[in-house]
Structure 1
Amino acid sequence: MSDPTPILEADAVEYSYGRGAQVLHGVSLKLAPGDALGLVGESGAGKTSVLRLLLGLATPTRGRVLFDGDPLRGDDRRGIRSLRRAVQPVYQDPFSSLDPRMTVGASIAEPLRSLGVERDRALVEARVAELLTAVDLDPDAAKRYPDAFSGGQRQRIAIARALAPRPRVLLADEPVSALDTSVRMTVIDLLQRLAREQGIAMLLVSHDLTIVSALCRRMAVLEAGRVVEEGPTGELLTAPKHPYTSRLVASVPRLPAA
């Protein structure tokens, strides 16, 4: 049986900011249905640039980004709209990812309306309540504003917002690094459970190998804009082949058992 067509694929992409230095060099990644891929590397490795390309927020200097096997083009409004429904981001800072002037319910409902997924008020309210329950918050939270919640709770709300249009992929950019250590694992467990229950593929961008080992079956290592190693997470953590991966692994005092 042939492998399924990847939902998202970066095919030998290169990227430069304007006329500045090149930040990505021939990066290739594939994210298949139900996949969980960790993209790791130190600050400045190019992780966020990869994320922007996969979200359609930037265009490769060379190479292609493919969505369901078709090249993504910035002038293809229908293709970009389909991508927006299917691929949703979860950002690092829960305190800046929610509009403080909007109620939690309005924030979660916003992608349903803006993407044309659902406009009926009763159905939108029902979906918001369903999502809050899914992220272990009381549906009454919909009536409150973000400043009434802790950082961990806000990140749960941001995850609920990302799930609103029933995406096929979550692109999570350091989703727990801004949270207290005491609540990180609860958010990680939530992401793991939701991805499993809803069959969502996930790309986790992180510098934290402990988080990646908990969430991702595969891992790609990015150094100075190049993928230097890729494979099953357990193998890369226990027997890294590239010196850069070895240095990353050595920098972690203790990793959970694979």
Structure 2
Amino acid sequence: MSVLLKLTEVAVYVGDTCLLEPISLELKQAQPLTILGQTGSGKSLLAQAIMGLLPETLTLQGKIEVFGKVLSLKERQALWGRELVMLPQEPWHALDPLMKGVDQVAEVYQYVQGQSPHDALSLAEQDLQQVGLADSAQKRPGQLSGGMAQRLAISAATAGGAHVILADEPTKGLDVSRRDGIVRLLQSRSTLGSLLTITHDVAIARQLGGKLMVMKKGRLIEEGEADQILDFPQDPYTQELIAAEPKSWPHVALSAVDKAAETVLMTENLAIERGGRSLFTGLSFSIKKGEVVGVVGDSGCGKSSLGDALLNLLPVSAGKVIRFDDTAKPHQWLKLYQDPPSAFTPSVSLGTLLRDLTRLHNIAQARIAPLMARLNLPEEILQRSCLAVSGGELQRFAILRALLLDPVFLFADEPTSRLDPITAKDVTNLLVELARETGCAVLLVSHDPDLVSKTCDQVITL
């Protein structure tokens, strides 16, 4: 079994500070390697080091061998597309928003493999047919769902025939069925080479098998066969990661909701359409103060559309939404976004955003510090922009901003799908606790049926 990629004591520094402690690994042909760890563990930093994508402010030490040769930064970069390829976390960052999907794949065949324009287009159409995108070949990335965009990005990235594929969180934010499909696609595209996957999802590590390395805060803490580590973890951190899977969570105490609590919102025979297609019909339910209602279903079934309709952000095609709290102000009906950076401007600090909020709504500054302590947010993040904090910190900051407005209803749209399991568990438990304490009604949308069933008072399946 040949070694395609070998790292010897590779470390990353910023000045004299070590961000990634020396790590050695081998990626062998037909033997997948998965690196597991929560946000900030150094997984993506390692992938950037391998590809030659580290910022100039960082220093790389150690030896990187590709196909048995020690290669310099420029030599590794010369292999991009042809022999070495990396899939970024967000497919939107890898795709041209103005170019049709089929043309993006064809471009790789034409300019990397040297195919004629006609043959390149034919091969691209075959690839999209194989990944279930034949009917969407003429669409631009903005017209695709997250799962479809990820399949397009994988098709474009692998069209050059690379033998070493690095996949950085390739299933982040996808529902279970789409996640499994992406894993199968990556496995099929790496049969002639090998696959190095970076993930915080324990289920993905189980599915891929092969070798597993567990990282924490820039340090390797456990490695070996994937099934052995996941079934019999030795390090307490690995045990904590596995225990943070939603299927391992305890059930919420449903009696915690006051049966005499006032109803905040009710729907009667609700129906919603998008783009001329019916998403669902005849949906009736109610939400009480302090109650958490879960919504689960595959991508495209209408989960987010339901939440938007309840906030009057989307018209309904039939039925009605009834609000019972006439005293609530418009800004007390809130949405917590799936992708935290989409809810913040990066042009100013988080502290500036908070000051603007408190001035606009006449909120006492004294309320901020206790809430930050409760949300485990360090005061120094107020000096940073939304791009300079972790996903978990930014999502907790989004919760802080929402709580300051004393919401009566909070639509949490996949609030943990971008987070590692430990942070996701903390954020979900926090949402449930705060709903109980403040009397805020919460609609929690998730692609994970285990998360919803373990934490919600009632579950709506679309």
Query: TM-score, normalized by length of structure 1?
Result: 0.86
Alignment of 1:10-25 (within 5 A): 10-17=7-14, 19=15, 21-25=17-21
**For 2:114 and 2:229, how far apart are their aligned partners in 1?**
43
Counterpart of 1:148 in structure 2: which amino acid?
A: Q
Name the counterpart of 1:46: 42
Counterpart of 1:88 in structure 2: which amino acid?
A: V
Kept in 2, the 8 Å contact 1:14–1:26? The answer is yes
Q: Which structure 1 segments of 5+ residues have no match? A: none
Report the CA distance between 1:135 and its aligned residue.
1.4
Report the CA distance between 1:113 and its aligned residue.
4.1
Q: Aligned with 1:45: secondary structure?
A: coil
Q: Aligned with 1:185: secondary structure?
A: helix
Name the counterpart of 2:123: 127
**For 2:173 and 2:246, how far apart are their aligned partners in 1?**
20
Kept in 1, the 8 Å contact 2:100–2:140? The answer is yes
Which structure has more relative contact order (CA 8 Å, sep 6+)? It is 1
Report the CA distance between 1:40 and its aligned residue.
0.7
Name the counterpart of 2:63: 64
Name the counterpart of 1:156: 151
Counterpart of 2:159 in structure 1: which amino acid?
A: A
Report the CA distance between 1:184 and its aligned residue.
2.0
Question: Does residue 1:233 correspond to 2:226, yes or no?
Answer: yes
Kept in 2, the 8 Å contact 1:8–1:54? The answer is no
Question: Does residue 1:219 correspond to 2:212, yes or no?
Answer: yes
Q: Aligned with 2:107: secondary structure?
A: helix
**For 1:162 and 1:216, how far apart are their aligned partners in 2?**
23
Alignment of 1:1-258 (within 5 A): 3-4=1-2, 6-17=3-14, 19=15, 21-58=17-54, 61-76=60-75, 79-115=76-112, 117-138=113-134, 141-195=136-190, 198-254=191-247
**For 2:156 and 2:66, how far apart are their aligned partners in 1?**
22
**For 2:22 and 2:16, how far apart are their aligned partners in 1?**
17
Percent pairwise identity: 29
**For 2:89 and 2:72, how far apart are their aligned partners in 1?**
27
Query: Who wins on radius of gyration, i.e. which is larger?
Result: 2
C-alpha distance after superposition, 1:36-91 (max 9, x if no partner): 11101111110011101111223863211111111120243xx5323541121222
Report the CA distance between 1:179 and its aligned residue.
2.2
Counterpart of 1:152 in structure 2: which amino acid?
A: G
C-alpha distance after superposition, 1:222-243 (max 9, x if no partner): 1221211111111001112222
Name the counterpart of 2:458: none
Q: Which structure 2 segments of 5+ residues have no match? A: 249-462
Q: 1:11 to 1:60 in 2, by over 3 A?
A: farther
Q: 1:112 to 1:38 in 2, by over 3 A?
A: same
C-alpha distance after superposition, 1:99-128 (max 9, x if no partner): 11111122113333443x224111211221
Name the counterpart of 2:274: none
C-alpha distance after superposition, 1:143-179 (max 9, x if no partner): 3212222111111111101110111121111111122
Q: 1:99 to 1:146 in 2, by over 3 A?
A: same
RMSD over aligned CA atoms reads: 2.1
Counterpart of 1:184 in structure 2: which amino acid?
A: R
**For 2:234 and 2:96, how far apart are their aligned partners in 1?**
44
Structure 1: 4+ residue segments shifted above 6 A: none
Counterpart of 1:190 in structure 2: which amino acid?
A: L
Q: 1:137 to 1:84 in 2, by over 3 A?
A: closer
**For 1:23 and 1:130, how far apart are their aligned partners in 2?**
43
**For 2:247 and 2:25, how far apart are their aligned partners in 1?**
28
Count the aligned residue pairs: 245
**For 1:110 and 1:21, how far apart are their aligned partners in 2?**
41
Q: Aligned with 1:220: secondary structure?
A: strand
